[in-house]
């Protein structure tokens, strides 16, 4: 389990989340990786209005889970459970998220490329998720000092491929 301040720092780090949205009875949830913005109380995501996620959320608020994990051992994860609501595009969100994941220069280039390709901000919708509860786990204490040193050496010798 992660303490509140540790969880906030974990969520603010550059990580890809996986969102799970419920679909019709008998169908598995729509599950997809997604970039996010976290301000300490609300997750903000962007989806295209015509995407499967956008169409599902256009029907009204939906219960969702958002899974965020570390990609290197010893692993950590947080699952946020809450309700997702769809809103008009939030000014500046696309650029803020692009900067989060690419840095300032590459993020600005990404936004310009998206707009040049006809995928302007007007096609996007903002998804807001207010977490109602979190489930977290941090495997670092279980690894112990020797395990953390071993995993640190392993990551240095075997970096995670892009």
The Cα–Cα gap between 95 and 107 comes to: 7
Give residue-wise pLDDT tens across range 125-153: 999 999 999 999 886 666 567 766 776 77
Structure tokens at 76: 């950590």
The residues that bridge with 85 in the sheet, in sequence order, are 128
Q: Is omega for the bond preceding 74 within 30 degrees of 0, making it cis?
A: yes
The Cα–Cα gap between 154 and 160 comes to: 10
pLDDT score, position 158: 75
Give residue-wise pLDDT tens across range 90-124: 999 999 999 999 999 999 999 999 999 988 888 99
pTM, two decimal places: 0.84
The Cα–Cα gap between 20 and 66 comes to: 6
The Cα–Cα gap between 4 and 8 comes to: 6
Structure tokens at 12: 């603010």
pLDDT band at 22; cut points 50, 70, 90: very high
Domains of the chain by start residue, with CATH = 4-157 (2.30.110.10)
The region, left, alpha or beta by phi > 0 then psi within -120 to 50, assigned to residue 50 is: alpha
Nearest to 68 by CA among 16, 8, 20, 139: 16
């Amino acid at each position: 389990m992660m303490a509140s301040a540790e969880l906030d720092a974990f969520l603010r780090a550059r990580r890809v989340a996986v969102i799970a949205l419920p679909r019709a009875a008998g169908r598995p949830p729509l599950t997809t990786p997604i970039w996010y913005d976290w301000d300490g109380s609300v997750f903000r995501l962007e989806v295209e209005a015509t995407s499967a996620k956008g169409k599902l959320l256009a029907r009204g608020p939906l219960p969702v889970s958002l899974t965020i994990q570390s990609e290197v051992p010893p692993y950590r994860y947080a699952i946020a459970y809450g309700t997702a609501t769809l809103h008009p595009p939030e000014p500046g969100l696309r650029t803020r998220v692009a900067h989060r994941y690419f840095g300032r220069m590459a993020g600005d280039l990404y936004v310009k490329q998206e707009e040049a390709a006809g995928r302007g901000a007007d096609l996007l919708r903002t998804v807001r998720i207010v977490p109602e509860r979190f489930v977290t786990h941090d495997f670092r204490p279980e690894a112990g000092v020797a395990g953390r040193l071993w995993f640190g050496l392993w990551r240095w010798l075997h970096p995670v491929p892009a």
